[in-house]
Structure 1
């Protein structure tokens, strides 16, 4: 792919997609702040769902995170000005009989709650739907979240390291990586509407526990990417239930992200939640050290500064797809080598 001279600004390229800004369990009776693509916002619960607007009151710039949701909307804690979910001011208590100024309104954003996450789209019309994860909606699986991940790395870099098959045996030695499996067998990447899919088998190595020898299990890994920054990764051991991790990287800016990371699992897997949180935090810390050290910090649009091989095919296809979005092109546009 050739070097691009004029990609769209980062916010412009990704503001029309849905991005998570909070776990549902975090959003209770008080509003929560968020940062998304350089925008400071606030989310709160309404009588019928969730709403998102700019963070600061149009009156005197007070932080609406210190406000209070009410039946009428979000009430500012400074002077009581109240805003509906569409951002319009509906109440000025200091002069209740006077017309409300037309400029008394906040920027409002599309907001939705699904899969235990609160999602926001900064554009007036979303360019794509939310990811499709129907297995999370029929009640047959249990879920467990990690604490949100605040990494000093771009959202695209975060996704690339999750999708990188070749690093497993090197970076994850001591967690689940198998140092004896250095070669990456050939695998296919399928381009799908709005994303990518790939499947490989990996001989995962469990660490030694209680003096027992580590055990190798040929685990099937299935990657389903929803562009731009979300992946579902299913782990199917040979003789055990599948568990699936979901990583949704939310771009704070072009060089920083928060990731909302959780897993679904069969309820018959005993003590899975505790085991998952402990092991996955250790695995992700290994990834964080690598990702935060990569340069450039922003997600590259091409491959001019790097040398790639066939084993890198999934992150290569992912980068091509994201670069196409940045250029305003369909992700399956012909590549220019």
Structure 2
């Protein structure tokens, strides 16, 4: 079995062969007409009209069958099978593809849509173009990339092989977006406070320490935005919030990182009862916006977030 270094050398030779053929290995532009999710959504109509499609993405699999090759191409929205035929793209072009393209490469393909005998939606390729040559092979999904530690340290690979991880990233982004929309609909102003601070505070935690050469002074990465947010209230703002990174130089495990995202908001002239009702409204808003209902299942239990919540 070839080593990673040997496989890289093979791919470098292919990269050089592409360049010698006068082809850009890393072109700056693509002529994509559709994302894969758009193709799948309107497949029957596009196939019926024999409309020429240009799609782009990463080659996730490649299977050669004599004078034809099937591959799966994946972009940020979905995956689609592509069908390469020697009699369609020409013997020279077909050989060039087989000799120089690998799983992991980014490709642009042009063609029309059809369904295979097994009913799989496919693009019949008439032309293709290299978008980016991958110099390292992707790890084999089941045998080469199962280690939890490696998955967490190489999130980019984890995202390639585990769609559920990508969905979590997208869900997190949506949650933050909806939190911002809710807070601002309630009159809160988004602000940014200093990350480098001369005095750390707002939480009981050990800080990261650094040094500012320009002012010849020690500084700390913030452990909380609290003190600066409160200064804004002193300055006259009534409702402020910040969503940002904080840093705590302490122990770490799967649920505790030395840097993480925090939400803090401050509201003048309000008491804890106002905040309790506010929290109920926020959770109801977020659940309706993100999930469409107020109940979720967690560890086998169904939790209903409909207000009012039980007071203890």
TM-score range, shorter chain: under 0.3
Using the size of structure 1 for normalisation, the TM-score is 0.22
Using the size of structure 2 for normalisation, the TM-score is 0.23
Relative to total residues, which structure has the larger helix share, 1 or 2?
2
Q: Higher RCO, 1 or 2 (CA under 8 Å, sep at least 6)?
A: 1
Rg (Cα) greater in structure: 2
